[in-house]
């Protein structure tokens, strides 16, 4: 309903055959003042149209996600291709729980904006954040129940000061 999906290819990831599914957001919109992108861009870049797109690499046998890439792009009347403002790459690994779990997440922010001498708009990466995860573990919790006490009404009432 909100996105268009299509199979765009196949690729091998760590010895596993994957199906690559691409998506694009159907309803692009203007930047709003709550968006990090809008807060950081120079004024003539704030007229851009925000659109989301990405790709999912799904294991061809199990359909489990092995990788995902999500991008927030800006489109302008005077640019041929959308400019990538934010790219997030997710990599997943098998776990002992029979599901894939995050292995690494890389966030790239391309928020340094300028124009070339010929007027072409440009964005460059000004920040990269990387999260790395070890194997997920199951935690256990134990508790101990103490002896139950029954109130019979014969106890001494509480004293009030």
Which range of 19-23, 70-74, 152-156 scores highest in mean pLDDT? It is 19-23
- Looking up tokens 């797109």 gives 53
Q: What are the percentages of helix, strand and coil residues in the chain, rounded to 5?
A: 5, 50, 45
Q: What is the pLDDT of residues 73-110, one digit of tens each?
A: 999 888 889 999 999 999 999 888 888 899 999 999 99
Q: List, as one string, the DSSP characters of 60-90.
A: TTT--EEEEEEEEEEE-TT-SSPEEEEEEEE
Q: Is the dihedral of CA 58, 59, 62, 66 positive or negative?
A: negative
Q: In the chain, what is the greatest distance between 2 CA atoms, to the nearest angstrom?
A: 92
Strand-pair partners of 9: 20
What average pLDDT does the segment 66-76 reach? 94
Cα–Cα distance measured from residue 158 to residue 161, given in angstroms and rounded to the nearest whole number: 10
Using an 8 Å Cβ cutoff, are 37 and 17 in contact? Answer: no
Cα–Cα distance measured from residue 105 to residue 89, given in angstroms and rounded to the nearest whole number: 6
Task: Enter the pTM of the model.
Answer: 0.78
What average pLDDT does the segment 138-153 reach? 78
Using an 8 Å Cβ cutoff, are 25 and 51 in contact? Answer: yes
């Amino acid at each position: 309903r909100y996105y268009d999906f299509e199979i765009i290819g196949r690729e091998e990831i760590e010895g596993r055959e994957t199906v690559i599914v691409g998506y694009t957001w159907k309803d692009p919109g203007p930047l709003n003042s709550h968006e990090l992108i809008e807060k950081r861009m120079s004024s003539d870049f704030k007229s851009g149209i925000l659109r989301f797109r990405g790709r999912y690499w799904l294991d061809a046998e199990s359909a489990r996600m092995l990788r995902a890439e999500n991008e927030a792009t800006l489109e302008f009347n005077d640019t041929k291709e959308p400019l990538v403002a934010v790219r997030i790459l997710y990599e997943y690994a098998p776990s002992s729980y029979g599901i894939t779990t995050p292995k690494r997440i890389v966030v790239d922010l391309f928020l340094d904006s300028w124009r070339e001498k010929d007027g072409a708009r440009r964005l460059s990466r000004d920040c990269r954040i990387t999260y790395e995860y070890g194997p997920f573990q199951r935690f256990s919790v134990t508790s101990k129940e103490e002896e139950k006490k029954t109130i019979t009404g014969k106890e001494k009432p509480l004293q009030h000061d």
